[in-house]
Amino acid sequence: MRANHPLVLLLGLLGLIPFLVCGYLACAWRDPADARALIALIAYGAVILSFLGGVHWGFALAEQPGVLAALPVPAAERSAEKARIGLGVVPSLLGWIAVLVAVLVPAPVLALCVLIVGFIATMAAEHGAHRRGWMPQRYLWLRWVLTIVTLAILITTAVLRVAGARIIL
């Protein structure tokens, strides 16, 4: 299925709704509900980062039959496979760290910063993967759009929480 397929576009855009709702709620009120919304925002960000890491595994497994079938693969391709699969785990680890920081420390603004770094790093890694021919352009443009909106929400939430400001609509 292409990245510009209507269902892919629809589901990608719908995936922004939890970011929008939780980000708004985390910045709109100053009672226990905003703390829950902030934790929900961090948890959802962690889940999405894990999903993005899984995408790298999917591309690597689909394009490199040696990974699945244990066929002989040239050393250079094996090295690329290992890098792709290894890098696919990093977003999940960053998301997990963000949840731990939010819940155990607790430092939800720091957790938001971990997510922000995770999304930026994932976007940079995807751009590099595209330059190496590991990711199609049609996927990359969708990721950029969704990630920019996600980053805007996470950054705005972090700044407003630090400033003690509220959004009132």
Please report the DSSP string for the chain in residue order: --TTSHHHHHHHHHTTHHHHHHHHHHHH--SHHHHHHHHHHHHHHHHHHHHHHHHHHHHHHHH-HHHHH-----HHHHHHHHHHHHHHHHHHHHHHHHHHHHHHS--HHHHHHHHHHHHHHHHHHHHHHHHTTSS-HHHHHHHHHHHHHHHHHHHHHHHHHHHT-----
Q: What is the pLDDT at residue 107?
A: 94
Looking at the domain assignment, is residue 146 inside a domain? yes
Q: How many domains does the chain have?
A: 1
Q: What is the pLDDT at residue 75?
A: 63
Domain that holds residue 107: 6-163
Looking at the domain assignment, is residue 169 inside a domain? no
Looking at the domain assignment, is residue 17 inside a domain? yes
Q: What is the pLDDT at residue 1?
A: 55
Residue 123 has pLDDT above 90, yes or no: yes
pLDDT band at 25 (very low <50, low <70, confident <90, very high): very high
Residue 151 has pLDDT above 70, yes or no: yes
35-46 average pLDDT score: 95
User: What is the average pLDDT value for the chain, to the nearest integer?
Assistant: 87
113-137 average pLDDT score: 91
How far apart, in whole angstroms, are the C-alpha atoms of residue 15 and residue 36?
19
pLDDT band at 137 (very low <50, low <70, confident <90, very high): confident
Residue 114 has pLDDT above 90, yes or no: yes
Amino acid symbol at 21: V
Q: What is the pLDDT at residue 69?
A: 53
Instruction: Give the residue with greater pLDDT, 77 vs 55.
Output: 55
Looking at the domain assignment, is residue 92 inside a domain? yes
Cβ burial, residue 103 (10 Å; 0-12/13-18/19+): middle
> How many percent of the chain have pLDDT more than 70?
86
Residue 73 has pLDDT above 80, yes or no: no
Looking at the domain assignment, is residue 1 inside a domain? no
Q: Please state which of the ranges 54-58, 62-66, 146-150 shows the lowest mean pLDDT.
A: 62-66
Looking at the domain assignment, is residue 91 inside a domain? yes
Residues 6+ apart with CB under 8 A from 43: 99, 102
Instruction: Give the residue with greater pLDDT, 117 vs 73.
Output: 117
Looking at the domain assignment, is residue 30 inside a domain? yes
Looking at the domain assignment, is residue 116 inside a domain? yes
